[in-house]
Amino acid sequence: GAVVSQHPSRVICKSGTSVKIECRSLDFQATTMFWYRQFPKQSLMLMATSNEGSKATYEQGVEKDKFLINHASLTLSTLTVTSAHPEDSSFYICSARKRQETGGYLQPQHFGDGTRLSIL
Amino acid sequence: AQTVTQSQPEMSVQEAETVTLSCTYDTSESDYYLFWYKQPPSRQMILVIRQEAYKQQNATENRFSVNFQKAAKSFSLKISDSQLGDAAMYFCAYRTPDFNSGNTPLVFGKGTRLSVIA
């Protein structure tokens, strides 16, 4: 079963609206979650790294005031696209994994099923 | 910065045949992990195979195997006995070990779209 749940799977809204996407780790505590953006037929581009209890780390070129990330608990991170415009339309994917123990089992990266955001 | 390069935007293979997808990466690290992910039209990310850089033996998962050449920084994926269900986007990915809280991100290549011809 899915270990990372992402909601909603599909959002269609008007320009100027703010949209919140939730990402939950279901059976493990994720001190760090990752947010990716994927344009059609392109790769996953890391937007930001979400750290529980602290500010997110944004990649170069990603507007932190446009893409608000909150990681208030060990199992929930949210991405809010503020005042969304058509150019924000994209596929957003969250991801998380357990901390890798030194010399231990290589922890798998779990992905949410993604959110398709369409801004009209 | 680490980069991952997939030089084949598209590939096709006849059903039951073998195909190899290429991936090269650039890093100054000696310890890292490499992955191949499959993304079908549903856009779920599915782990196909993984390789720890310190392991010399090439990873194998059923019909999927890799050719890991550390000195050449090459990590190709071979799919044997290709099936229609193998048709998807394939992404090569890289990351360094975690040092704190699982906080090193995956870096993805641009992907290779694989078509399987019946």
The per-residue pLDDT for range B42-81, each reduced to its tens digit, is 999 999 999 999 998 999 999 999 999 999 999 999 999 9
Residue-level pLDDT at A92:
98
**Considering Cα of B26, then B115, then B64, then B102, what sign does the dihedral take?**
positive
* One pLDDT digit (tens) per residue for chain A, 120 residues: 558 999 999 999 999 999 999 999 998 888 889 999 999 889 999 999 998 888 899 999 999 999 999 998 889 999 999 999 999 999 999 999 877 666 667 778 899 999 999 999
CB contact (8 A) between residue B45 and residue A43: no
CB contact (8 A) between residue A107 and residue B102: yes
Residue-level pLDDT at B111:
97
- Interface probe for B, chosen from A28, A100, A102, A110 (most Cβ of B below 10 Å), is A100
Rounded CA gap, B58 and B65, in Å?
7
pLDDT-based confidence at residue B99 (cuts at 50, 70, 90): low
Phi-psi label, residue B96: left if phi above 0, alpha if psi -120 to 50, beta otherwise: beta
Residue-level pLDDT at A98:
77
Residue-level pLDDT at A36:
97
The percentage of residues in chain A with a pLDDT greater than 70, rounded to a whole number, is 92
- Sequence-separated contacts (24+) of A59-64 with Cβ below 8 Å: none
pLDDT-based confidence at residue B101 (cuts at 50, 70, 90): low
CB contact (8 A) between residue A43 and residue B50: no
Rounded CA gap, A106 and B51, in Å?
9
Between the alpha carbon of residue B87 and those of residues A76, B13, B44, B64, B77, the distances in Å are 33, 9, 13, 14, 14
